[in-house]
Amino acid sequence: MTALRLVLGDQCSHAIAALAGIDPARDLVLLAEVRSECTYVPHHKQKIALVLSAMRHFAAALAARGLRVRHVALDDPSNTQTLAGEVARAARDHGAARIICTHPGEWRVLQDMRGWQDATGLPVEIREDGRFLCSLDRFRAWAAGRRQLRMEYFYREMRRESGLLMQGPDEPAGGAWNYDAENRAALPAGTMPPTPRRFPPDALTQAVIGLVEREFPGHFGTTDRFAWPVTAEQARQALADFIAHRLPRFGDYQDAMAEGQPVLFHALIAAALNCGLLEPLEACRAAEAAYRQGAAPLNAVEGFIRQILGWREYVRGLYWLKMPDYRTGNALAATRPLPWLYWSGETAMACMAAAIGQTRDLAYAHHIQRLMVTGNFALLAGLDPAEVNHWYMVVYADAYEWVELPNVQGMALHADGGVMASKPYAASGAYINRMSDHCRGCAYDVKRATGPGACPFNFLYWDFVARHAQRFAGNPRMAMPLRTLARMDQAKVAAMRAEAASFLSALERGEAPAPPRAA
């Protein structure tokens, strides 16, 4: 009895649940490159190239294990170009008696999969995705009955359960659960972070890049600097490179930004983790081993493990707990269209130009750029969450809705009304100036909030606080900015709000000319 075992493009792992218990003589593994998955949002060209290349390398690795593999290429003339179509076609061609899948990463795909039984007349088994450390039931049980779903408490349970960075059943290594306060240094001038290991495209990836350029010429981004790991072996090398060269200073400079330094001390592994080339537990264990060997300090290792064991698992749990309604939340009633500069990168705001420019070239920006630059701007400017989510889904090589949506809706935009974060991550230019060197070379003046050359983050920030003063009046974490606003000279507040209004309407018209620096 042949089972058709589907492996999606973000499930390129030998340990994926759909392959467990496979009968090599009878079963068939299906990997299908389909246009519908490349265009449901017009992904960055590097993301499509990465996923298709990973699928092709993985198909070859499965065949080398002696498994029967059906890999359908994007330009195969008989390709129906949808997952449902390819599953039905493969089931028919090979006389499959049942279909086995792994739980997908996106709600829309799960809905689609749930229709395959009726469409094919075959039983469809959807197995839990065991790559995550917290099952969806486990997360639901944790969330049940809680008024607030704070990541920190979830993270502590995950630490206890996994035993990672513990020095006894209930005692965290070093005596504290969280060293976040030690993760906020700016990069000292002249620091040169190590260059991350690159994986130049092999012949197979080059062919895929050619295909992507032919099939999706209008998609955002460039492929010239493609250097992503596309096999599990390369992903392991990328992790090892991070652990040896960047992890020791990951903690100190986790929140830093610097002109011309797109990666700093970050791991650059989310794209590999999210498409199955790297296991999260392996990454956490490698970091923990570096700490135990004295090769990396606790603030770095705890910070890194918190991102994976804490944030990554937490956002995934939250996504599946709250979908489909989570997607349409707009608690701050933000309706402004996404300005064109998010696509062109053409702006005199040096911090925004840097974040968007590297996003176009590398399909990557690090967390603080995503949260405190492009995300913060979208929050302050009141950009429509649906348009902002679309942008984040399009532009990053690691973007999948299960992780993108909570980060954008919950963390960056506060569009979920505070499910994820107790206060909005809103900040003025002072924050960006403290954490980066962008302001030094910017056409705007970070010290000014009104008048010629005033930094847009400043007047937009106070406009945001004033706009939502009533909503946040009862929020103790917003008390300080609200108090400061109340004490401000009201003429200055009015001037900043007028500046914000004219800046935003110029932006809507596609104008936001570089202002001269104030004298």
Contact residues: ligand FAD, CB under 6 A: 266-270, 273-274, 304, 307-308, 311-312, 315, 366-367, 370-371, 375, 392, 396, 398-399, 403-404, 407-408, 411-412
Q: C-alpha dihedral over 315, 243, 352, 456, to 10 degrees?
A: 80
Q: Which sign does the torsion angle of CA 343, 424, 333, 392 carry?
A: positive
* Interatomic CA distance for residues 364 and 359, integer angstroms: 5
Contact of residue 45 among ligand FAD, ligand SF4, ligand DLZ, none (CB under 5-8 Å per partner type): none
Residues between 15 and 74 with contacts to ligand DLZ, criterion CB under 6 A: 32-34, 37-38, 43, 48, 51
Binding flag, residue 370, ligand SF4 (CB under 6 A): no
| Contact flag: residue 253 with ligand DLZ (CB under 6 A) | no
Nearer Cβ to ligand SF4 (118/511): 511
Is residue 442 involved in binding ligand SF4 (CB under 6 A)? yes
User: Based on CB atoms, which residue is closest to ligand FAD, 103 or 266?
Assistant: 266
Beta carbon of residue 68, minimum distance to ligand DLZ (angstroms, whole number): 18
Phi, psi of 455 (to 5 degrees): -65, 125
Q: Which of 406, 507, 437, 378 lies closest to 151, judged by CA?
A: 406
To which H or E segment does residue 314 belong?
helix 313-322
Write the single-letter amino acid at 224.
D
Please tell me whether the peptide bond between 324 and the residue prior to it is cis, using omega within 30 degrees of 0. Answer: yes
The size of the interface with ligand DLZ (CB under 6 A), counted in residues, is: 16
What's the start-to-end Cα distance of the chain, in Å?
79
In DSSP terms, 30 is beta-bridged to 6, 70
Binding to ligand SF4 by residue 377, rule CB under 6 A?
A: no
Concatenating the DSSP letter of every residue in 92-155 gives HHHT-SEEEEE--SSHHHHHHHHTHHHHHSS-EEEE--TTSSS-HHHHHHHHTT-S---HHHHH
Please choose, from the candidates 81, 147, 94, the residue with its C-alpha nearest in 3D space to the C-alpha of residue 120. Answer: 94
The least distance separating ligand SF4 from the CB of residue 502, rounded to whole angstroms, comes to: 16
Based on the shown chain and the rule CB under 6 A, indicate whether residue 446 belongs to the binding site for ligand SF4: yes
| 429 is a site residue for ligand SF4 (CB under 6 A) | yes
What's the CA gap between 122 and 116, in Å, rounded?
A: 8
At 71, which helix (H) or strand (E)?
A: strand 69-72
- In which residue are the tokens 């076609």 written? 89
- For residues 341 to 360, the per-residue mask of contacts with ligand SF4, x marking binding by CB under 6 A and - elsewhere, is --------xxx---------
* Residue whose CB is less far from ligand SF4, 246 or 438: 438
* Number of residues engaging ligand SF4 in binding (CB under 6 A): 14
**Toward ligand SF4, which CB reaches closer, 91 or 446?**
446
Instruction: Report the amino acid identity of residue 437.
Output: D
Q: What is the CA radius of gyration of the chain?
A: 24
Nearer to ligand SF4, 492 or 517 (CB): 517
Q: Does 9 help bind ligand DLZ (rule: CB under 6 A)?
A: yes
313 binds, among ligand SF4, ligand FAD, ligand DLZ, none (CB under 5 to 8 A by kind): none
33 binds, among ligand FAD, ligand DLZ, ligand SF4, none (CB under 5 to 8 A by kind): ligand DLZ
**Of 74 and 300, CB closest to ligand DLZ:** 74
Least distance CB 450 / ligand SF4 (angstroms): 13
Beta bridge partners of 336: 383
Options 22, 124, 439, 512; binder of ligand SF4; rule CB under 6 A: 439
SS3 string, 287-302, reads HHHHHHCCCCCHHHHH
Q: Scanning residues 474 to 493, which ones bind ligand SF4 (CB under 6 A)?
A: none
User: Is residue 174 left, alpha or beta, with left meaning phi > 0 and alpha meaning psi from -120 to 50?
Assistant: left
Contact partner at residue 273 from ligand DLZ, ligand SF4, ligand FAD, none, CB < 5 to 8 Å by partner kind: ligand FAD
Q: What, of ligand DLZ, ligand FAD, ligand SF4, none, does residue 449 touch, CB below 5 to 8 Å by kind?
A: none
Could you say which residues in the range 392-451 bind ligand DLZ, by CB under 6 A? 400
Query: Smaller CB distance to ligand FAD: residue 274 or 450?
Result: 274
Q: Which is nearer to ligand SF4, 356 or 432 (CB)?
A: 432
Kind of pairing, strands 3-6 and 69-72? unpaired
Per CB under 6 A, contacts with ligand DLZ among 76-115 are 104-106, 109
CB of 311 or CB of 457, closer to ligand SF4: 457
According to DSSP, residue 369 is labeled I
Question: 429-461 burial, b if ≥16 CB within 10 A, otherwise e?
Answer: bbbbbebbbbbeebbbbbebbbeebbbbbbbbb
Residue of 3, 4, 8, 286 interacting with ligand DLZ (CB under 6 A): 8
In the bound complex, what is the minimum distance in angstroms from residue 285's beta carbon to ligand DLZ?
A: 25
Site string for ligand DLZ, 363-402 (x = CB under 6 A): -------------------------------------x--
d(CA 453, CA 451): 6
Positive or negative, the CA dihedral 280, 283, 288, 291 is negative
Where does this chain bind ligand DLZ (CB under 6 A)? 8-10, 32-34, 37-38, 43, 48, 51, 104-106, 109, 400
Which residues make up the interface to ligand SF4 (CB under 6 A)?
A: 349-351, 429, 432-433, 438-439, 442, 444, 446, 455-457
